[in-house]
Amino acid sequence: MTKPIGRTGHPEVKPLRALLAPVRGRLLAGLACQAGAAIAGITPFAAAAELCRRLLAGTPMSALWPLVVIALVALPVRAVLLVAASTLTHLADNDLQLSLRRRLARHLTRLPLGWFAAHDSGRVKRAVSDDVGALHHLVAHALLDLTTAIVAPLAAAAYLATLDPWLPLVTVLPIAAGMALHRKAMRDVGARMREYQAATAALDSAVVEFFDGIAEVKAFGQTGRAHRRFTEAAARYGEFVAGWARSVTPAMAWSQFAMSPLVTLFVLLLAGVLFSPADTIPFVIVGAGLSGPLLAVGYSIQDTRAGQAAAADIAGLLATPELPDTGAATVDTGGGARLEFSAVRFSYDGETEVLHGIDLTLEPGTVTALVGPSGSGKSTVAALAARFHDVTGGAVRLNGTDLRDLPVSQLYRHIGFVLQDVRMLRTSVAGNIRLGRPDAPLEDVHAAARAARIHDRLLALPRGYDTVLGEEVTLSTGEAQRVSIARALLADTPVLILDEATASVDPESEAAIQDALSALVAGRTTLVIAHRLATVTEVDQIVVLDQGRITERGTHDQLVAAGGGYARMWEYAA
Ligand SMILES: Nc1ncnc2c1ncn2[C@@H]1O[C@H](COP(=O)(O)OP(=O)(O)OP(=O)(O)O)[C@@H](O)[C@H]1O
C-alpha cells in the first residue's frame, strides 16, 4: 500500500523539494530575475520620491537628472527581467513535467500487476495528469508571485529605512493586522472543507437518487418522500454555505480592508504628520505600494499548497516499490509446464500474513480449482502464480525455475490470465485480442475469436474487427469476457490463471462462456478460482483453502467421499 506522505505537519515540503531538484538551477535563476524585476519596479517610485524630497529641500533640478534617468532605465530593465523570469520558470516547468511524466511512466511499467488490481485507474490519472498539472501552476507562476510579494515590500522598506528607520515599521502595522485577520478566517478551513465536501456529497447523492429512481419513486407514489429528502439535503447545503460565509466574511473583509493601499496610505500620512513631516512624501509614494503585492499572496499560497499536496501524491506513487526485474533465467515450457508452490507465505502489508505455507503442484496440462470461503486466500494464491506480487516466504517455480529469476517480459509468455474484471483497451477489437501477440495474423485472431464463441458477434459490429471499443461500441460483460478468452487463446501461454466470472450473464451467454473456457483450458496447466462448486466437479484437482491454509485436496469424488469440509460445502450448495 502506498502511504499518503505529508498529510501531517510540514513534511510535504520534502517531496516537493526532491521533485524540483532536477530543475533547481533554472528555477532559482528565474526567481532571481523576478526579484530583480520587483526591485526595478520599486525603483521609479523611489526615484520620484527622492526627486520630490530633494526639490522640496531646494536642490536645483539640474542636479537631479540622474534620478530621472534611473527611473526611466528601471522600466525597461523590469520588463526584460520579467520576461526572463517567466521564460526560465516555464522552461524549468517544461523539463520538470516531461521528466516527471517519463519517470512515472517508467515506474508504472515496473509496478507489480497486483498494484493495479488494488488501485483504480483514477489514481494513476490523478498523478500523471492532475498532479503534474498542479505542479505547473506552482513552478511556472505561484513561486514568481510569491517572490514579488516578498521582495517588493522589502525593497521599498529598505529604501524608506534610509530616510527613517522607524516609519517602515508603521507601514507593516496594517499588513500584519491584515495577515492576522486572514489567518483567523482560514483557521479551520481544513475541517470546513471536509464538511463542505460531505454536504456536497449528500446533495449529489440526493440528486442522483431523485433522478435515477424517478420511475420507481413515481410508480410507488413516493414522489413526496424522495422530493423531501432532496430539498432537505439542498437546504442543509445552503445553510452550511451561508453559515461558513457568515463566519468567514467579516474577517476576510477586514483583512482585505487592512491591507488595502488606501489604509496603508492613511496610516503613513498620520504617522508622517505626527513624527516626521519632512519625509512624508516618499512614504506616501513608495509605502502605499507595499501592500499591493501582498494581496496576491493569498492566491499564490493556495497554489503552493496545492503544488505541495500534488508533489506528495507523485512522490507517494514513485515510492511504491517496483517489482524487481533482475532475473536472467530462461525456461522451456514446450514439453509442458509444471507450476509449483513450495512453502509459500504472503502478506500484503508486511504485517498480517494471509497465506501460511502453501504447498501445491499444478501438473502439466491439468486443471486445478481453488475453492474456499470468501477471504480464504484463493485470489491471493492465483495472484502469486502470475507474479502479481512477490511471495514473502517460500517460492513459486515454473518447471523448477523461481518466477523471480525470470525476466518479467519472459514470464508473461508462459503465464496468461483471464480475470473477472475484464478491461478493454480503447482500440480496435482486433488490437484488443492481439494484446499478447501484436504480430498475430488476422486469421489467427479470427480463429481465437471463433473458439471463444464471439467471432460472429464481432463480425456484426459496425466495422467488424476494426471497431474501436469504448468509442464506437461498448461490449456487454459476457461479450467482453469472451473477447478476453480469445485474447488468452491467441497469446497461447502454457499456464493459465482463470478467475471464474461471478457477474451474472444471461444463460445463453453463460453457456457460450463455458464452451469458450473449455476450448481455452484444453492442454494447458490451469489454475481456476472457482466461485461455484458446480463448475469444478470435472477438474483434475480441487484444493480447498481456509484462512490461508490448504485444508483438503483431491478430485470431487474423493473429497465428497472423504466427508470433510468440501463434502459439507457440496451438500449445502446442492
Ligand atoms: N490488496 C489487498 N491488500 C490487503 N489485504 C488484502 C488484499 N487483497 C486481499 N487481502 C486480504 O487477504 C486475505 C485473502 O483474500 P483473497 O482475496 O485472496 O481471498 P479470496 O478467497 O479470493 O476471497 P473472495 O472469494 O472473496 O475473492 C483476506 O483476509 C483479504 O482481506
Residue 537: inside a domain: yes
Residue nearest atom 16 of ligand 1, based on CA coordinates = 377
pLDDT at 218: 58
Q: Give residue-wise pLDDT tens across range 455-492.
A: 999 999 999 999 998 878 888 888 888 898 899 889 88
pLDDT at 209: 65
What average pLDDT does the structure give for the chain?
83
Separation of 341 CA from ligand 1 center, angstroms?
A: 18
**Which of 232-236, 274-278, 357-361 is predicted most confidently?**
357-361
CA 382 to chain centroid: 27
For residue 404, what is its C-alpha cell? 523471480
Nearest Cα to 112, choosing from 353, 351, 346?
Answer: 346
Q: Ligand 1 pocket, 117 CB below 6 A?
A: no
Q: Ligand 1 pocket, 380 CB below 6 A?
A: yes
Separation of 548 CA from ligand 1 center, angstroms?
A: 10
Strand 353-362 to 339-347 pairing: antiparallel
Whether 152 and 197 share a structural domain? no
pLDDT at 346: 96
Q: Is the pLDDT of residue 543 over 90?
A: yes
Give the start-end residues of each E strand in 111-214: none
> Would you report the helix, strand and coil content of the chain in percent, each value rounded to 5?
65, 10, 25
Nearest Cα to 41, choosing from 112, 144, 133?
Answer: 144
Nearest Cα to 392, choosing from 327, 430, 345, 456?
Answer: 345
State which of 292, 322, 352 marks the end of a domain: 322
Q: What is the DSSP letter of 543?
A: E
pLDDT at 501: 65
Range of the domain at 392: 339-573
Whether 135 and 215 share a structural domain? no
Task: Report pTM.
Answer: 0.64
- Residues in the chain, overall count: 574
Residue 413: inside a domain: yes
Whether 12 and 98 share a structural domain? yes
Whether 133 and 196 share a structural domain? no
Q: Is the pLDDT of residue 224 over 80?
A: no
Q: Ligand 1 pocket, 377 CB below 6 A?
A: yes
Separation of 375 CA from ligand 1 center, angstroms?
A: 5
Residue 332: inside a domain: no
Bridge partner list, 552: 544
Residue 555: inside a domain: yes
Mutate to test the pocket of ligand 1, among 351, 371, 376 (most ligand atoms within 8 A of CB): 376
Q: Is the pLDDT of residue 5 over 50?
A: no
Q: Is 381 in contact with 547 (CB distance < 8 Å)? A: no
How confident is residue 4, by pLDDT bands cut at 50, 70 and 90? Answer: very low
Q: Residue 235 class from Cβ within 10 Å (0-12 exposed, 13-18 middle, 19+ buried)?
A: exposed
**Which of 43-52, 328-337, 339-348 is predicted most confidently?**
339-348
Say how far apart CA 270 and CA 327 lie, in whole Å.
78
Instruction: From residue 114, give the alpha-carbon distance in Å to each of 123, 250, 359, 390, 510.
Output: 14, 51, 21, 10, 27
Averaged pLDDT for residues 78-86: 95
Residue 302: inside a domain: yes
Bridge partner list, 368: 527, 541
Q: Ligand 1 pocket, 116 CB below 6 A?
A: no
Separation of 538 CA from ligand 1 center, angstroms?
A: 26
Q: What is the CATH classification number for the domain harbouring 280?
A: 1.20.1560.10
Residue 181: inside a domain: no
Residue 267: inside a domain: yes
Can you tell me which atom of ligand 1 is nearest the CA of 380? Answer: 18
Say how far apart CA 550 and CA 82 lie, in whole Å.
70
Q: What is the CATH classification number for the domain harbouring 360?
A: 3.40.50.300
Separation of 351 CA from ligand 1 center, angstroms?
A: 14
Q: Is the pLDDT of residue 361 over 90?
A: yes
DSSP 99-124: HHHHHHHHHHHHS-HHHHHHS-HHHH
Least confident of 196-200, 236-240, 532-536: 196-200
Q: Ligand 1 pocket, 308 CB below 6 A?
A: no
Separation of 556 CA from ligand 1 center, angstroms?
A: 25
Whether 307 and 354 share a structural domain? no
Q: Is the pLDDT of residue 353 over 80?
A: yes
Separation of 380 CA from ligand 1 center, angstroms?
A: 6
Bridge partner list, 469: 473
Q: Is the pLDDT of residue 9 over 50?
A: no
Whether 315 and 358 share a structural domain? no
Residue 389: inside a domain: yes
How confident is residue 61, by pLDDT bands cut at 50, 70 and 90? Answer: confident
Q: Ligand 1 pocket, 409 CB below 6 A?
A: no
Whether 525 and 535 share a structural domain? yes
Mutate to test the pocket of ligand 1, among 320, 379, 381, 543 (most ligand atoms within 8 A of CB): 379
Whether 497 and 517 share a structural domain? yes
pLDDT at 203: 75
Number of domains in the chain: 3
Q: Is the pLDDT of residue 497 over 80?
A: yes
Q: Ligand 1 pocket, 348 CB below 6 A?
A: yes
State which of 322, 350, 377 marks the end of a domain: 322
Averaged pLDDT for residues 71-76: 93
Which H helix or E strand runs over 496? strand 495-499
Q: Is 74 in contact with 47 (CB distance < 8 Å)? A: yes
Q: Give residue-wise pLDDT tens across range 247-257.
A: 777 877 887 78
Whether 361 and 431 share a structural domain? yes
Separation of 377 CA from ligand 1 center, angstroms?
A: 6
ipTM entry: 0.95
Whether 6 and 112 share a structural domain? yes
Instruction: From residue 261, give the alpha-carbon distance in Å to each of 34, 142, 171, 222, 324.
Output: 22, 22, 10, 58, 60
Separation of 378 CA from ligand 1 center, angstroms?
A: 8
Whether 84 and 220 share a structural domain? no
pLDDT at 511: 78
State which of 253, 287, 322 marks the end of a domain: 322
Whether 384 and 520 share a structural domain? yes
Q: Is the pLDDT of residue 391 over 90?
A: yes
Q: Cα angle at 26 between 20 and 28, to 5 degrees?
A: 80
Q: Give residue-wise pLDDT tens across range 275-299.
A: 666 667 777 777 666 666 666 666 6
Averaged pLDDT for residues 163-171: 75
Can you tell me which atom of ligand 1 is nearest the CA of 376? Answer: 21
CA 43 to chain centroid: 45
How many angstroms separate the first and last alpha carbons of the chain? Answer: 39
Q: What is the DSSP letter of 428?
A: B
Say how far apart CA 235 and CA 196 lie, in whole Å.
13
Separation of 471 CA from ligand 1 center, angstroms?
A: 34
How confident is residue 10, by pLDDT bands cut at 50, 70 and 90? Answer: very low
What share of the chain has pLDDT > 70, as a percent?
Answer: 88
How confident is residue 504, by pLDDT bands cut at 50, 70 and 90? Answer: low
Q: Bigger pLDDT: 41 or 261?
A: 41
